[in-house]
Structure 1
């Protein structure tokens, strides 16, 4: 008897030595199926923070205490502004949820501003990360009046 199998005669095809690549592996597989990508919460926080700050009518992000502490730490030599201040996110494998604490400029319609912020944040996060943004919750913590001093300005009396 022969050890040769004839595939045309209804026999089994000969197996090659080693593992056979089937399914999602191999040269024909799409790149997104060849590994896992994880995105840290801090990455999504920065993207969402930048997107929210770009909307006209947003004065700043963060609650009162975090803005105060942030203003102090921003003035430390060598320190950089924290773009994720006032932003909290939950990131899953395919979805993200964003919570924002904002201060709005006086005179800006808050409902319209919130819609613009949601659109900006959702667009930026989904475009840059590929995650689906399931919700963007916005808490308006304060209204910045035109005659108020900014937290970021030097409030000292002596120049």
Structure 2
């Protein structure tokens, strides 16, 4: 079976063509994969800044109330350009105070390249990273607080 990438740049994403049909990969899929891969690196938060921390916390609260999974959007601070066979990724992140930024950004870059290439078949040409904030651990919403809010929301749902 022969496969060939076809498609158009921009919002339509990429298409993998074979003799039995085609598979289209939307830009938003590549964007989510890149965002999730970046978040897999310790002490990295997508989007950066206090606003992103608040958004992430509010997303967790919303998830607890609505029953959806995850806290916050994995696409915050992520933009992609997807061509026929390649993708370029731009990320905006915040790091926790004390991490070595060059090593951390390289770990993020490696994670994003590995995940996007292995899951989509696209070759990642570049991952540009902007570190726009350094956060102290107490600035980040505490996991225990998030779990407590989620638990309270679940209890309220059961009562209703």
- State the TM-score, normalized to the length of structure 1: 0.68
- Larger fraction in helix: 2
Q: Which one has the largest radius of gyration?
A: 1
> Structure 1 unaligned runs (5+)?
1-28
RMSD over aligned Cα, in angstroms? Answer: 2.5
The runs of 5 or more residues in structure 2 that have no matched partner are 4-16, 147-151, 153-160
Q: Which has the higher strand share?
A: 2
Partner residue of 2:123?
Answer: 132
Q: Measured at CA, do residues 54 and 69 of structure 1 come closer, stay the same or move farther in structure 2, by a change above 3 Å?
A: closer
Cα shift at 1:50: 1.3
TM-score by structure 2 length? 0.67
Instruction: Name the counterpart of 1:84.
Output: 75
* 2:43 is aligned with 1:57: yes
**Alpha-carbon distance in structure 1 between the residues aligned to 2:53 and 2:27:** 21
Q: 1:128 to 1:142 in 2, by over 3 A?
A: same
